Amino acid sequence: MVPDQTLTGPSTRLPAATDNAPVDPRAWETWLAARSRVRAARGMQRTDNSRGPLTDLASNDYLGLGGHPEVRAAAAAAVHEYGAGAAASRVATGTLQVHRELERSLCRYTGRAEALVFSSGYTANLGVLGALGGPGSLFILDAHAHASLIDGARLSGAQVETSEHNSLGDIERLLLQNMQSPAPKPRVAVVVESVYSVLGDAAPLAEAADLCARHGALLVVDEAHSLAATEHGSAARAAGLAGSGHVVVTATLSKALGAQGGAALLGGESAGLLREHLVNTSRTFLFDTALAPAAAAAALRSLDLADPQRIGDLARSARVICDTLAGHPELRGRIERGAGAVQSIRMPGADAAMAATAALRERGIAVACFRPPSVPDGISRLRITAHAHQDPVELALVLETVARTILEVES
Ligand SMILES: Cc1ncc(COP(=O)(O)O)c(C=O)c1O
């Protein structure tokens, strides 16, 4: 028998460690320690924080549904019915009745024709952009797009361009630049968030959709911060885009719905075709275990509870946050009123932001601290998150402590 040259030939012999520089058995450890020192020197060390018994001005459970008795009961019942996990990918044997019910319910809630549930909002974005990407595609990504959108675009193999934040003019410039290039990409998608995660500001969805339609482009809208958290329960629906085939929505079930998971929400005549494409080509759908049944059942129950009353209460809490902080002249000009739950206060620097967050923790209040590199414009901020179930009077009292603490830290 002829020996297999690919296995035995001298040209394929792996170099022995001694052929080149000696192997440093501590190379990884040395590198990890150096990276840790750099983070410490820059004041950039993160920890895995728990909410604990603190007053919650930081979590994404905007409507307080994560702990709602009916949501808990639905999750528990699903564990009894299906077990702890889905045990397989959706395309193997992992699709359960609760996934189908959740997809139908998401369609009813958002006015979309088709839905596909993923194991998280992160994997939904990776999956959707991955399935739309490839060498013939161009993604125009807003400069403030979430990490999952950036990763999804980069991994997709598409050409990626970044447009100035919330600038329709810059999006149009990039659309025209593609058209006029010697080898224009035949498929273009503009990628935005309905409500941006750090600054909390809203994208001009109707105008962006109109621009995309004129240029034959898709508009991908990440509704992570607007699903069940803004008027009509969906920003795309509120903008009159629920039936638009060129608008592709992604969302998370882990914020206002208080559960876990993500979704692609599709509309228009080609919704079925796009869903089929996602089922067949989204790597995070194909090669990821299906959403756990407890999370799916919890999200399903939350959708029934995420009604206009709760969403209205959330908007009221957001107003209380901004109005109370604005009562302090030193803070007034630094408040960024968000379109959803997230409100921000600009801080003079990362150190002040961290010191205020730590001092508030000492006083029993959890707020989020955003600083470079997590802030797209380099400005450090305290992020104060509104929740529907906050009593307005108690909330205003807590915010007086927040304001006092910020001013003390900065004095
Ligand atoms: C805009 C945006 N998209 C996607 C995600 C990811 O969602 P999930 O936490 O469900 O993975 C987040 C969560 O932080 C987000 O803010």
- Of the listed ranges 78-92, 207-221, 231-245, 371-385, the least confidently predicted one is 371-385
Ligand 1 centroid distance, CA of 272 (Å): 25
Q: Which residues contact 302 (CB under 8 A, 6 or more apart)?
A: 63, 65, 68, 71, 228, 253, 256, 257, 258, 259
Q: Residue 206 in contact with residue 240, Cβ under 8 Å?
A: yes
Question: What is the C-alpha separation between 127 and 149, in angstroms, rounded?
Answer: 10
Domain end position, chosen among 305, 328, 344:
305
In ligand 1, which atom is closest to the CA atom of 262? 10
- In this structure, are 287 and 350 located in the same domain? no
- Of the listed ranges 164-168, 252-256, 365-369, 375-379, the least confidently predicted one is 375-379
Residue 262 in any domain: the answer is yes
If one residue of 61, 192, 197 were mutated to test the ligand 1 pocket, choosing by the most ligand atoms within 8 A of its CB, it would be 197
In the predicted model, what is the mean pLDDT of residues 265-287? 98
- For position 11, what pLDDT does the model report? 52
In ligand 1, which atom is closest to the CA atom of 122? 11
If one residue of 254, 284, 374, 383 were mutated to test the ligand 1 pocket, choosing by the most ligand atoms within 8 A of its CB, it would be 254
Angstrom distances, CA of residue 190 to CA of 161, 206, 209, 387: 10, 13, 9, 31
- In this structure, are 374 and 289 located in the same domain? no
- In this structure, are 83 and 180 located in the same domain? yes
Give residue ranges with CB within 6 A of ligand 1: 120-122, 125, 146, 148, 193, 197, 222, 224, 252, 254, 262
For residue range 205-219, what is the model confidence (pLDDT) as tens digits? 999 999 999 999 999
In ligand 1, which atom is closest to the CA atom of 125? 4
In the predicted model, what is the mean pLDDT of residues 94-122? 98
Nearest residue to 61 (alpha-carbon basis) of 309, 386, 411: 386
Q: What is the CATH number of the domain that holds 353?
A: 3.90.1150.10
Ligand 1 centroid distance, CA of 235 (Å): 16
Quote the number of domains for the chain: 2
Task: Report CA dihedral (144, 265, 152, 246) to the nearest 10 degrees.
Answer: -80
- In this structure, are 271 and 363 located in the same domain? no
- For position 46, what pLDDT does the model report? 72
pLDDT exceeds cutoff 80 at 253: yes
- In this structure, are 333 and 275 located in the same domain? no
Domain end position, chosen among 283, 305, 327:
305
* Domain of residue 383, residue span: 307-410
In the predicted model, what is the mean pLDDT of residues 104-130? 98
In ligand 1, which atom is closest to the CA atom of 193? 1
Ligand 1 centroid distance, CA of 23 (Å): 40
Ligand 1 centroid distance, CA of 215 (Å): 28
Ligand 1 centroid distance, CA of 11 (Å): 48
Identity (one letter) of the amino acid at 166? Answer: N
Q: Which residue's CA lies nearest to atom 16 of ligand 1?
A: 197
For residue range 304-331, what is the model confidence (pLDDT) as tens digits? 999 999 999 999 999 999 999 999 999 9
DSSP H helical segments within 1-146, as ranges?
A: 5-8, 27-41, 69-82, 97-110, 121-132
pLDDT exceeds cutoff 80 at 47: no
Q: How many CA atoms lie within 13 A of 145 on its CB side?
A: 29
Domain end position, chosen among 278, 305, 332:
305
Question: What is the C-alpha separation between 34 and 28, in angstroms, rounded?
Answer: 10
- In this structure, are 383 and 298 located in the same domain? no
Please give the span between the terminal C-alpha atoms of the chain, in angstroms, as a whole number: 84
- In this structure, are 245 and 313 located in the same domain? no
Ramachandran quadrant class, 145 (left: phi over 0; alpha: psi -120 to 50; beta: rest): beta
Higher pLDDT, 363 or 6: 363
- For position 25, what pLDDT does the model report? 83
Question: What is the C-alpha separation between 153 and 307, in angstroms, rounded?
Answer: 33
In ligand 1, which atom is closest to the CA atom of 253? 10
In ligand 1, which atom is closest to the CA atom of 254? 10
Ligand 1 centroid distance, CA of 173 (Å): 28
For residue range 146-205, what is the model confidence (pLDDT) as tens digits? 999 999 999 999 999 999 999 999 999 999 999 999 999 999 999 999 999 878 999 999
pLDDT exceeds cutoff 60 at 6: no
In the predicted model, what is the mean pLDDT of residues 70-94? 97
pLDDT exceeds cutoff 70 at 51: no
Question: What is the C-alpha separation between 322 and 135, in angstroms, rounded?
Answer: 45
- For position 400, what pLDDT does the model report? 96
In ligand 1, which atom is closest to the CA atom of 196? 1
If one residue of 144, 146, 198 were mutated to test the ligand 1 pocket, choosing by the most ligand atoms within 8 A of its CB, it would be 146
- pLDDT band at residue 54, thresholds of 50, 70 and 90? confident
If one residue of 141, 144, 252 were mutated to test the ligand 1 pocket, choosing by the most ligand atoms within 8 A of its CB, it would be 252
- In this structure, are 301 and 331 located in the same domain? no
- In this structure, are 192 and 320 located in the same domain? no
In the predicted model, what is the mean pLDDT of residues 341-355? 94
What is the rounded average pLDDT for all residues in the chain?
93
pLDDT exceeds cutoff 50 at 276: yes
Ligand 1 centroid distance, CA of 78 (Å): 24
Ligand 1 centroid distance, CA of 121 (Å): 5
- For position 50, what pLDDT does the model report? 66
- In this structure, are 316 and 401 located in the same domain? yes
Tallying the residues shown for the chain, one arrives at 411
Residue 163 in any domain: the answer is yes
Ligand 1 centroid distance, CA of 129 (Å): 14
Ligand 1 centroid distance, CA of 250 (Å): 10
Q: What is the CATH number of the domain that holds 82?
A: 3.40.640.10
- In this structure, are 148 and 216 located in the same domain? yes
Look up residue 203 and give its two tokens: 């994208």
Question: What is the C-alpha separation between 307 and 318, in angstroms, rounded?
Answer: 17
pLDDT exceeds cutoff 90 at 333: yes
Residue 176 in any domain: the answer is yes
- pLDDT band at residue 5, thresholds of 50, 70 and 90? very low
- For position 224, what pLDDT does the model report? 98
- In this structure, are 180 and 318 located in the same domain? no
pLDDT exceeds cutoff 90 at 73: yes
Question: What is the C-alpha separation between 173 and 179, in angstroms, rounded?
Answer: 10
- For position 39, what pLDDT does the model report? 84
